[in-house]
Structure 1
């Protein structure tokens, strides 16, 4: 099944439903801040489990208590509905 890149209008509509996510350099991005490194890394582990079950793997960046997540669908060459689905699941982990 082909995954399609969303249009700018579709992205604008979908992003309005999410808190704290933005399009940065063509990727859906959100920054998270935790109490310490262990809490941040625990969150990354939870994200990894959810993402792997979806077969959709985000770009995860961690510096001490900060985590940045970038979502894009390489097969679609941009942001797809799959990215928004994962973003919603990530937000539910908090």
Structure 2
């Protein structure tokens, strides 16, 4: 049984809708490695996910895929990389909230593994 959001077309969203608490909770229950956090500097809710790869080359390969996804969606994560560690942080800068675009990005990032 696929939630409807898994079928969203992978394309930019001009005015992405804000995620409801129910939508956010369903996503987090489906993908428990994604975490809901608040940025210390402004309290904005963000989604974060850390990936641990065995080698830098594996991490860099994944980052290349994330770069292509970012361009396809016109939505760019904050990215941290240290050797095999990759950390992604997403939220919609224009709304300063979590939107359907963030959920789509996070879901597609999981499919790239």
| Alignment correspondent of 1:87 | 106
1 or 2, which has the higher helix percentage? 1
1:67 aligned to which of 86, 102, 111:
86
Q: Which runs of 5+ in 1 are unaligned?
A: none
Q: Please state whether the residue corresponding to 2:30 is helix, strand or coil.
A: coil
- What is aligned with 1:8? 21
Moved over 4 A (4+): none
**Runs of at least 5 residues in structure 2 that lack an aligned partner in the other structure:** 1-13, 39-44
Instruction: Give the TM-score normalised by the residue count of structure 2.
Output: 0.76
| 1:52 aligned residue (51, 71, 78) | 71
Q: Which has the higher contact order (CA 8 A, sep 6+)?
A: 1
**C-alpha displacement at 1:84, in angstroms?**
0.7
Q: TM-score scaled by structure 1?
A: 0.89
User: How far apart, CA to CA, are the structure 2 residues paired with 1:85 and 1:23?
Assistant: 15
Question: What whole-Å deviation, never above 9, does each CA across 1:36-78 have from its counterpart, x for those lacking one?
Answer: 1111111111111011111111111001110000010011211
Measure, in 1, the Cα distance between the counterparts of 2:28 and 2:70: 19
Q: CA RMSD in A?
A: 1.4
Indicate the structure (1 or 2) with the bigger Cα radius of gyration.
2
